[in-house]
Amino acid sequence: MKVAIKILSLLVLIPIAFIGCLFLYYWLTYLDETVTKGEAYGFIIGDSKYATVENFEKIKSSYPNTHVFVRYGKRAGDSFSIAATLSASDKLAKHDKWDVLLEGQYEFFNSIDLKFEKGSLVEIHRHRQNFELP
């Protein structure tokens, strides 16, 4: 009887411990921070849009499938995604908010959001989550 209770408790405790560790991992790897002074993630506050596009190469060494997503209107179709390359600078220059998607086109769980004012970078927002929020 004692052996059965021990086995049953192990069968219950192991999945609970696994799920607990999984939630701990997700919590520890979650990032949501904003930088408005200095530099972060290869970008420098105060840089021009073209200088920011040049810094995409630093990111692409770690994230080769990096894309930039831009929403330019209020409707669902008012957006585009383009590979993060130097040739993207002409298309991106017209817009003041860029979402740099590190895992690929339309993958929003790991991104760096860049905000520009008067042609200069004013805000870098880093967001990474390994789970879907409710």
pLDDT mean over 66-89: 91
Evaluate if residue 95 carries a pLDDT over 90.
Answer: yes
Tens of pLDDT along 46-68?
999 999 999 998 888 889 999 99
**Close Cβ partners of 84 (under 8 Å, ≥ 6 residues apart):** 53, 56, 59, 60, 66, 67, 68, 100
The span from the CA of 105 to the CA of 127, in Å, is 16
Evaluate if residue 132 carries a pLDDT over 70.
Answer: no
Average pLDDT, the chain: 89
Tens of pLDDT along 3-12?
878 887 778 8
Of the chain, the percentage scoring pLDDT greater than 90 comes to: 52
pLDDT mean over 87-111: 91
pTM for the model: 0.78
Tens of pLDDT along 20-47?
888 888 777 888 899 999 999 999 999 9
Q: Where are the domains of the chain?
A: 32-128
Confidence band of 17 (pLDDT split at 50, 70, 90): confident
